[in-house]
Structure 1
């Protein structure tokens, strides 16, 4: 039952994010930028350095939070909060570099909207305990 709920939530979130991005592109006349599926999508060298630093710090933080969850199951909420903050940091840095240093600065609107949708999905899942057994 867990995997059915999980797959359903992932599909719903993906469809909602795609729909919101489609609407934002139409309303704000944002050109769709072709990106590779599992690439970093870096804007410039400075963005690459900052993104590398953020990923390194994220790994250290997540290892520490994982250790906390292994020791005491009550740390799961702290782990989710940590993952959400790291996700927001990654999206906000990407949005900043798209806004300030990209050929398409309006793309930052789509990135921020995607971040808001992801954070909203995480908060909704946690608040309503949608994945708990």
Structure 2
């Protein structure tokens, strides 16, 4: 239950940050299909697929290290977060360079930086160690 509350609060913080940035910077909402990739152009699509495949390979390798080797769970979480946010930064680049709404890149960058900051705070204050052991191994 605590894990769901933690995840819900992280999603809420990121949503609120994007909401306020849209209001303050006058960034219009862009209609996107749910569960769609929403690529800016063909180059973006190709680079994002390369990044996704590389990220999945890295996730599998890191998960192996976490389960069978003496690998830090905090380092695992931090590397996973950087790999995940790399997609945000790639999207931000293409929104800035090739999109009809270049201000959208501000939201993508802010989301990535906010997620990295939240994960760093979770690691710094050992929040995840206080969760039940089924979620997070100590």
Task: Give the TM-score of the pair, scaled to structure 2.
Answer: 0.86
1:69 counterpart (59, 66, 71): 66
Q: Which has the higher contact order (CA 8 A, sep 6+)?
A: 1
Of 98, 102, 123, 2:95 maps to 98
**For residue 136 of structure 2, what is the aligned residue in structure 1?**
none
Q: What residue is the counterpart of 1:49 in the other structure?
A: 46
1:85 paired residue among 54, 73, 82: 82
Other-structure match for 1:30: 27
Are 1:18 and 2:12 matched, yes or no?
no
Query: C-alpha root-mean-square deviation of aligned residues, in Å?
Result: 1.4
Moved more, 86-95 or 5-14: 5-14
C-alpha displacement at 1:120, in angstroms? 1.5
Going by fraction, where is helix more abundant, 1 or 2? 1
- Residue 5 of structure 1 is matched in structure 2 by 2
| Aligned length in residues | 130
Matching residue of 2:135: none
Unaligned runs of 5+ in 1: none
Deviation (angstroms), 1:73: 4.4
User: 1:74 deviation in Å?
Assistant: 3.1
